[in-house]
Structure 1
């Protein structure tokens, strides 16, 4: 026994544990939570130039917006330029979303006018960034301004002074609107729109001037900051909004993190119980995996969102799947009579390329989602990319390293029970025995039984079409399209007591809101989600939210999508799906052959149609997050299919020197499925575990997301066994194969006989 290997193993485990213990507090402290986890808002602005001006560079506009956000004191805002005339702003943790929206979209165009609204001068006469907060002799707050063009300022004030008593007023405006603003009208109101109206008795030739107007300290500070931030030479209109209250966000964060933790622990326990020692190694590497993914995400400045955490938990399941692939290959070797060392090296070698292919196809889907997705979809894709890369680097190599140290030490020699293998099922190669145990599916006819799964699938599709037709004929939408695709407004109301849908509908009707539908959910029916067909304007939405807060005593969340953005999202969703299919098809054709690619894509289309059918049957809301689920299932399902294809290809290669008959093709497919079925079921189970805990314990905001994941995982696993492989079989038996000339088998083609003590390393 090589004790040095055990020492290295022990030191490595201790090092990893210490690293996680001391690193975890830093990770927890530096996590950047998205607006759906700590409250805040997301707005997509349409940028148009002011009348008579050209549209400036979007980067300059984004910088101006960033200066406005500095006024709010919000850390690390997300400001993204999209296209030629759109800017997306995400502010997490902002306390007053309405105030923030007002300040960001304010043009802050400072002008000085006479009582007849004639322009005298604008902010160009002032020094940039020269506004300061001050007080007069009575302690009243005012704003001091530094004058840059003193000559122009003197001429303007001299002109006002000459207008005579009562008319010699210089009116200071912020964002004067010629279509509706006037001094004559505003001077009669209790709270006029202009900033101040100062009496000018003579021309002022000074380097400093003051703006006063019975300001509070907060009002004077805001005015000072807006002037210093500079004016925005554009008009900003909201095309998409999503506001989340802090309480709602933190509740979602706590419940989702708890559900995710329970799901990950469930996977660890399952791996330990089923695989014994390798399962313990798997549990350790999964813990390292979660730690490293959080660490990488923090270091790259990633923002944790609900969908991002869901992607992480899903990634844990897929990471466990990589271990399952390796461990099942090792078990194959042990059941064939190999020694522990031989089985380990063969298993890790054969499983790597399959793991790489499976993870790479998921990476393709995630990358396309990231490049074309927006908002929460982009966050989901980012986490999925980090997860797939971490799986290849950590789960594969770290797990292999730990297990290799134990195997090479010799302490596992002959101890098959530690791998969950019963010695009674292992042949004695010394007596010339061959493998006789091939798992629980050894005699199962997958090709023959495929019709039952296909029948279930067809039934689901027919029922789904029936529901879509029924809803369509009754004046409803065939599918329950969310506001992401149809445009409109979604309002979330939270209460301490149960909410009555009809009462809420009447309350909204009194406020001028005609609801499309109201869904009551949450523990004790304390949360209501209201859907409105129209995209409610900001001012009206603010009034509605204030009224609902007075009634239910909680801040109200709102999400608004304009028709233009709705059409863009539909276009992007279609484009994302097509590109994902093309990317996966090209890769599989390159790694395998065209018939494998066709079979895999048809299986993916099957998964997509089944999920859409369930959306129709259950009337689930179709939104951008559902697109993320579809893309995830595309990656996951093709992952399963690739594992099957890999075994089929091995079997085909074993018969490459002869013409394969129809019956032989059936045997090849059945053999491949019999050897991979256990792995497919186990990997699906481990991936489903965290999804189920998220569904049962996580935030209501991702319930539909998790339910669709669950459905997609189930039918995705089924399609890899009963659709992809069966279609490949049908293509092969109907596609005339090339004739092979009989060749004399080369020496290297002959399978090596394992002789204990000689070539059993």
Structure 2
């Protein structure tokens, strides 16, 4: 008999079986990957498939788990870029775009301010002079009235511009809060554009993330070269403002001549039939910013250039009460109704938005072009052969490490060492199962984390077995020695694993790139190794003791 409750044994062996099941697809990586690609392509094509896709789908049963561990750039090969976004360019563009507004605002009080002239100034600063110095306070009030609230969670209550007086001239520049919000929106917009461009070519598991204040890390496995990736990022998204003919819920509706059927981005089973020829295109959109409407609700303001403003103004004047569709990459992201004539090329989109949703919509509207120039600080291409070599090297390191650990444990602890090696194999399977389910990318440093986990896992069993030896030397029975060994070693095992996990968590949040990959794998390994070292080995020993009932044990 053993002291392990039946329910606990069932839970332990159930988790082991589940882990082996979810780790299984990684043993047939190429077949499962082709199966998953075929399933994704068929779903995207609404069920239709080529004979090759049908054959690929049949490579793996649909009823089995099919999640596999994504391979990082260093294991699959691909392109790596580190780009710096020139956020200062956006400040200059914003301030340059304000000159027509300032000029028009002062034109209304021309009898008090006289002639209005733009003066030379550094980029990002607008200096305006008036010919009548006595009207300077009136001019300041008119320009300050152009300020709008900063739309961000950190800039609430601030205005987007600062208006001051310097040597008799009006100086306009972005406020510090607006600069921070602009930086956030600029990098977010760049991320959105890059992600859309990369996703269109169907690459697997790209890494596109912000680094620091104004840098973006782009890693795309499976792509030919860094030059190819740079060309892909430079592609411009297709944005258009189209007249809406009608709305339907039937995807099979046939559009008329010079019309097309487009799905709504965030509304399932909603389709818009729009005219193929847009009224204006994204090339004529100069800006789109989150704002507030006259009722203080989040909205989105947009601005066209002179040509787009004229075309949009003419269209809205003759189509009041009709909807028009904002189409991005063949999807309708919004379809507002024209409430009135919109002259000057500036309009506002209202709706039931939150601040975050209005910001996101503004990003989508601006996703037709990168908001600022990007400088590529790092370019690196990793060939698939090098990635395959990395996998082989990692496998060799893991095999050698596992072999040496196995020899040591069996030589030191005999049969109980063998139990530890069985639990170690289960531990590695659990790591792959968890990484497969959560989609954590495996990198070369991640393989190092797996190898390190092997030592950490057996280290816990060394503590347990040494404690058992002490209990046996004190004359305790085998069952009591096993019970005491696990119970008294648990605190030391917990302490060492908790401190190791805290270190891994710190590495994840402070580090980047390879350091994060190592931290993720190590964190998962700490959890699984503690489970297998404490519970799985105990379940194996309990099973052995229940079946063989030995009078003595050798540890």
Q: TM-score, normalised by structure 1?
A: 0.38
In structure 2, how many angstroms separate the alpha carbons of the residues matched to 1:229 and 1:131? 24
Counterpart of 2:431 in structure 1 is 293
Distance 1:321 1:154, change over 3 A: closer
In structure 1, how many angstroms separate the alpha carbons of the residues matched to 2:78 and 2:459? 36
Distance 1:362 1:14, change over 3 A: closer
Distance 1:228 1:313, change over 3 A: same
Shift of 1:154: 13
Shift of 1:272: 2.3
In structure 2, how many angstroms separate the alpha carbons of the residues matched to 1:384 and 1:231? 40
1:368 aligns with 2:409: no
Distance 1:17 1:298, change over 3 A: closer
Distance 1:52 1:9, change over 3 A: closer
Shift of 1:404: 3.0
Distance 1:20 1:124, change over 3 A: closer
* CA deviation vs aligned residue, 1:467-524 (integer Å, no higher than 9, x gap): xxxxxxxxxxxxxxxxxxxxxxxxxxxxxxxxxxxxxxxxxxxxxxxxxxxxxxxxxx
Shift of 1:405: 3.7
Counterpart of 1:20 in structure 2 is 20
Does the CA contact (< 8 Å) of 2:19 and 2:430 recur in 1? no
Does the CA contact (< 8 Å) of 1:39 and 1:243 recur in 2? yes
Shift of 1:92: 1.4
Shift of 1:341: 1.6
1:86 aligns with 2:215: yes
Shift of 1:239: 2.6
SS in structure 2 of the partner of residue 37 of structure 1: helix
1:148 aligns with 2:279: yes
1:59 aligns with 2:188: yes
In structure 1, how many angstroms separate the alpha carbons of the residues matched to 2:14 and 2:414? 20
Distance 1:154 1:46, change over 3 A: closer
Q: Which has the higher helix share?
A: 1
Counterpart of 2:369 in structure 1 is 231
What does 1:431-580 correspond to in 2, within 5 Å?
none
Shift of 1:296: 0.5
Does the CA contact (< 8 Å) of 1:36 and 1:305 recur in 2? yes
Shift of 1:241: 3.6
Counterpart of 2:447 in structure 1 is 309
Distance 1:372 1:127, change over 3 A: farther
2:478 aligned to 340, 355, 373, which one? Answer: 340
1:322 aligns with 2:488: no
1:46 aligns with 2:184: no
Does the CA contact (< 8 Å) of 1:5 and 1:409 recur in 2? no
Counterpart of 2:400 in structure 1 is 262
2:74 aligned to 23, 33, 36, which one? Answer: 36
SS in structure 2 of the partner of residue 146 of structure 1: coil
- Which structure is richer in relative contact order (CA contacts within 8 A, separation 6 or more)? 2
In structure 2, how many angstroms separate the alpha carbons of the residues matched to 1:65 and 1:343? 61
1:108 aligned to 225, 232, 236, which one? Answer: 236
Distance 1:337 1:228, change over 3 A: same
Distance 1:145 1:277, change over 3 A: same
Shift of 1:232: 1.2
- Of stretches 72-81 and 146-155 in structure 1, the one that deviates more from structure 2 is 146-155
Counterpart of 1:383 in structure 2 is 521
Does the CA contact (< 8 Å) of 2:22 and 2:436 recur in 1? no
Q: TM-score, normalised by structure 2?
A: 0.51
Shift of 1:44: 2.3
Aligned residues: 321
In structure 2, how many angstroms separate the alpha carbons of the residues matched to 1:155 and 1:26? 58
In structure 2, how many angstroms separate the alpha carbons of the residues matched to 1:108 and 1:126? 18
In structure 2, how many angstroms separate the alpha carbons of the residues matched to 1:22 and 1:155? 59
Does the CA contact (< 8 Å) of 1:2 and 1:409 recur in 2? no
Distance 1:64 1:335, change over 3 A: same
What does 1:704-715 correspond to in 2, within 5 Å?
none
SS in structure 2 of the partner of residue 95 of structure 1: coil
Q: Which runs of no fewer than 5 residues in structure 2 stay unpaired?
A: 33-67, 95-181, 245-257, 261-274, 282-305, 312-364
Distance 1:108 1:328, change over 3 A: same
Does the CA contact (< 8 Å) of 1:46 and 1:85 recur in 2? yes
SS in structure 2 of the partner of residue 382 of structure 1: helix
In structure 1, how many angstroms separate the alpha carbons of the residues matched to 2:278 and 2:209? 35
Counterpart of 1:246 in structure 2 is 384
Does the CA contact (< 8 Å) of 1:4 and 1:409 recur in 2? no
Counterpart of 1:462 in structure 2 is none
Does the CA contact (< 8 Å) of 2:84 and 2:374 recur in 1? yes
Does the CA contact (< 8 Å) of 2:79 and 2:219 recur in 1? yes
Distance 1:126 1:405, change over 3 A: same
Shift of 1:357: 0.7
SS in structure 1 of the partner of residue 229 of structure 2: helix
Does the CA contact (< 8 Å) of 1:367 and 1:385 recur in 2? yes
Shift of 1:235: 1.2
Distance 1:276 1:21, change over 3 A: farther
SS in structure 1 of the partner of residue 522 of structure 2: helix
Does the CA contact (< 8 Å) of 1:40 and 1:244 recur in 2? yes
Counterpart of 1:169 in structure 2 is none
In structure 2, how many angstroms separate the alpha carbons of the residues matched to 1:2 and 1:396? 15
The two structures, once aligned, show a CA RMSD in angstroms of: 3.9
SS in structure 1 of the partner of residue 85 of structure 2: strand
Counterpart of 1:70 in structure 2 is 199
SS in structure 1 of the partner of residue 216 of structure 2: strand
1:96 aligns with 2:225: yes
